Structure 1
Amino acid sequence: MQKTNLKEIAKTLGFSVATVSKALNGYSDVSEKTKKLVLDLAEELNYTPNSFAVNLRTKESKTIGVIIPTMVHYFFSNIIDSILKDCEERGYMVIIMQSNENYELEKKQVDLLLSKGVDGILISLSNKTRDTSHLKKIINSGIPLILFDKIDKNIKCSKIINDDRKAAYNAVCHLIKNGNKRIAHFRGALNPQNSIDRFLGYKKALTDNNIEYDPSLVYECKNNNRDDFVEGAELAKQLMIDHKDNVDAIFTVNDLISIGTLNYFNRNNIKVPEEIELFGFSNWFMTNVTTPSISSVEQNANKIGKKAAEILFKELEQKANEEEILYETHIIETELIFRDSTSNKIK
């Protein structure tokens, strides 16, 4: 059936276009009888509003922008899934962009989203983001900004995060309770806050358990996501060259690094967990199907995405009502998942 427009509905009923428009939008100065006549005819004639015109009137695009470091990532795909569900339920479209851990690309993507007139932006920062002027541009434009997972603590906006320091601390304490004292850490790049916090949690677990921190047991990953599997194997090889007979366990910054590490050990007949224990971070689905399966930290990505969307829409409502926006930081709880790569008993 061919779609109609406001003028045709108004002409058919003998009303003005303004009256029809008010009836369709539920204005109180239009009688219930008139509203019913308009709504019934609109349904009969397959009328749908011109979204562009509606957006001009309401000053809303009904579009949300999301920037993530990579889409080929179990953690981020779960976050996106939750954001999409929440936005769809509210009648919003989502533009998803991938920075590829590239700061310059992230800046261009912010400019593009701003030029598209999105109502709000959610970002997990690239590992190489140090200058945050593009984030301040969003805030200065009056557009709500929510940072999640990889954040900058100095930006004044709402944030959704895990307590990475606490999660890392708990994971390493578990390795220590298993009897391990020489624990290596394959850490992330020096810049991202979550990488810093996981390293600090690792270090604090050692010192709190009277184990001297040895910087030679800490290896930095480039943290390019797609290369993490290969880098995990390379770091495991280097660790064995440096400390083969003097390391008990490894705590890695993410699960891809762990999987690459395990792959190297399996190929070189190094038994996990008998000879060396392994604990990852993120609880990728792959950690449950490797041999042996890998203990990991569950970040509850779906809850991160759901809360990020929830806070964004809360701020959009506050903005529409011309209310003061009070920034919030929400910490999504993590949990330890114990599998076969750790002995899971006190030695």
Structure 2
Amino acid sequence: METITLKKIAEQLGLSISTVSKALKDYPDVSAKTKEKVRNLVTELNYVPNSSAVSLRSQRTNTIGVIIPETVHHFFSYVIKGILEEADKKKYNVILMQSNEDYEIEKKQVELLLNKGVDGILISLSNTTVCLDHLEKIRVQGIPLVLFDKIAKNINCSKVKVDDRKAAYEAVSYLIDHGYRRIAHFRGGLIPQNSVDRFLGYKKALIDHDIEFDSSLVYMCDSNSDFTDGFNNAEKMIQDHGDNVDAIFTVNDLLAIGAIDYFNANGIKIPERIALIGFSNWFVSSVLTPSLSSIEQHGFEMGSKSAQIVLHEIDCKNKGIPIEPQQIIIETNLIIRNSC
């Protein structure tokens, strides 16, 4: 079977190869009549572009790389879905990688994506990422970079996140407005910016409501901040304070679910004895007993917007248009259920 090429289509129509190529890409300097002639012949001949040849000519791979801390996280599953849908609209492939909350793995994955020649990179930083040299390397090579959810302030690139400080403030204020005064916080590590901001929102809500901040009510969790941390810290909190705590705000839902498991196992009534609010609004949070109040951070929208931005920046780069980094804040919602 004869291979159909742009050259053969151009010869058959009496056009230049560049005109045929522009017509297929819907360039405005090609007439509508010419575009129609080209498209009709392409359909008739069943022409399929050679993706490898296109990549070599344009120095583009039509591929974006995505690095997330963990794929099993309910929130990130929605982020991935949003990214994939936007990429598909623009005919881009996605290379998805998981850092396992490990800075060294994250660095290696960035290097791999750069070696693969991806057109853009999306990253939610690991909980252990401190040095940003690998991110600067992306920027130095001129590859569009978008950070989402877990970001670094000291890197000049587009970022998509929620207002963690505001969301935490609203959650703790809700508890205070409903009569809770001794509110503990199960926080994440000292490095992730979202963990820091959620702690600061918690602390500010207490101070603004004339409640003295008590550092003994803040329980640090490890880099994973998972179910086991929630269970163990709930046990330690009861040992430390007995009945002198009436609510907990946790940095994520997994910690709250672990705490609920401990309370249920030890006959501590929720919310009669102690109330809880989590962060992320996992599906399981709505179906466990009692159902968990949580902050919805709209993962699908975050993924979709992050992909839109990186694809826009790729397009700007290809057209020689200067890229202006964007700062996008995704609105959150406080979902009240039976845990408070």
Give the TM-score band, short-chain normalised.
Answer: over 0.9
Quickly say closer, same or farther: Cα 1:30–1:68, change in 2 above 3 A. closer
| Alignment check: 8 A CA contact 2:67 2:123 kept | yes
Quickly say closer, same or farther: Cα 1:291–1:29, change in 2 above 3 A. closer
**Distance (Å, rounded) in 2 between the aligned partners of 1:258 and 1:163:** 20
1:86-144, CA deviations, whole angstroms, 9 ceiling, x for partnerless residues? Answer: 11001111111000001001001001100111110010000000010000000000001
Q: Structure 2 length as normaliser, TM-score? A: 0.93
Match of 2:289 in 1: 291
Match of 2:65 in 1: 65
**Distance (Å, rounded) in 2 between the aligned partners of 1:28 and 1:195:** 48
**Distance (Å, rounded) in 2 between the aligned partners of 1:334 and 1:245:** 32
1:224 counterpart SS class: coil
**Distance (Å, rounded) in 2 between the aligned partners of 1:241 and 1:163:** 33
Q: Does 1:316 align with 2:307?
A: no
**Distance (Å, rounded) in 2 between the aligned partners of 1:277 and 1:257:** 14
For structure 1, the 5+ residue unaligned runs are 343-347
Match of 2:168 in 1: 168
Quickly say closer, same or farther: Cα 1:239–1:23, change in 2 above 3 A. same
Quickly say closer, same or farther: Cα 1:295–1:31, change in 2 above 3 A. closer
Match of 1:251 in 2: 249
1:1-347 matches, cutoff 5 A: 4-6=3-5, 9=8, 13=12, 19-20=16-17, 22-26=19-23, 39-224=39-224, 228-342=226-340
Match of 1:345 in 2: none
Quickly say closer, same or farther: Cα 1:14–1:40, change in 2 above 3 A. closer
Quickly say closer, same or farther: Cα 1:214–1:316, change in 2 above 3 A. same
Corresponding residue pairs, total: 337
Q: Please report how far the alpha carbon of residue 19 of structure 1 lies from its aligned counterpart in structure 2 after TM superposition.
A: 3.4
Quickly say closer, same or farther: Cα 1:12–1:250, change in 2 above 3 A. same
Q: Please report how far the alpha carbon of residue 55 of structure 1 lies from its aligned counterpart in structure 2 after TM superposition.
A: 1.4
Q: Please report how far the alpha carbon of residue 317 of structure 1 lies from its aligned counterpart in structure 2 after TM superposition.
A: 2.3
**Distance (Å, rounded) in 1 between the aligned partners of 2:212 and 2:29:** 75
Q: Please report how far the alpha carbon of residue 311 of structure 1 lies from its aligned counterpart in structure 2 after TM superposition.
A: 1.5
Q: Please report how far the alpha carbon of residue 278 of structure 1 lies from its aligned counterpart in structure 2 after TM superposition.
A: 0.5
| Alignment check: 8 A CA contact 2:7 2:17 kept | no
1:186 counterpart SS class: strand
**Distance (Å, rounded) in 2 between the aligned partners of 1:276 and 1:187:** 18
| Alignment check: 8 A CA contact 1:9 1:38 kept | no
Q: Please report how far the alpha carbon of residue 223 of structure 1 lies from its aligned counterpart in structure 2 after TM superposition.
A: 3.3
| Alignment check: 8 A CA contact 2:22 2:30 kept | no
Q: Please report how far the alpha carbon of residue 330 of structure 1 lies from its aligned counterpart in structure 2 after TM superposition.
A: 0.9
Q: Please report how far the alpha carbon of residue 302 of structure 1 lies from its aligned counterpart in structure 2 after TM superposition.
A: 1.5
1:118 counterpart SS class: coil
Q: What is the alpha-carbon root mean square deviation over aligned residues?
A: 2.2
1:63-98, CA deviations, whole angstroms, 9 ceiling, x for partnerless residues? Answer: 011100000011111111011101100111111100
Quickly say closer, same or farther: Cα 1:246–1:34, change in 2 above 3 A. closer
Write the letter of the residue equivalent to 2:207. Answer: T
Q: Please report how far the alpha carbon of residue 175 of structure 1 lies from its aligned counterpart in structure 2 after TM superposition.
A: 0.8
**Distance (Å, rounded) in 2 between the aligned partners of 1:43 and 1:286:** 49
1:297-345, CA deviations, whole angstroms, 9 ceiling, x for partnerless residues? Answer: 1111112112111211221222122222111111111111000000xxx
Quickly say closer, same or farther: Cα 1:318–1:197, change in 2 above 3 A. same
Quickly say closer, same or farther: Cα 1:160–1:79, change in 2 above 3 A. same
**Distance (Å, rounded) in 2 between the aligned partners of 1:30 and 1:325:** 27
Quickly say closer, same or farther: Cα 1:95–1:265, change in 2 above 3 A. same
Write the letter of the residue equivalent to 1:19. Answer: S
For structure 2, the 5+ residue unaligned runs are none
Identity %: 56
1:14-60, CA deviations, whole angstroms, 9 ceiling, x for partnerless residues? Answer: 96xx8356424427998988766654444333321111111122221
Quickly say closer, same or farther: Cα 1:269–1:33, change in 2 above 3 A. closer
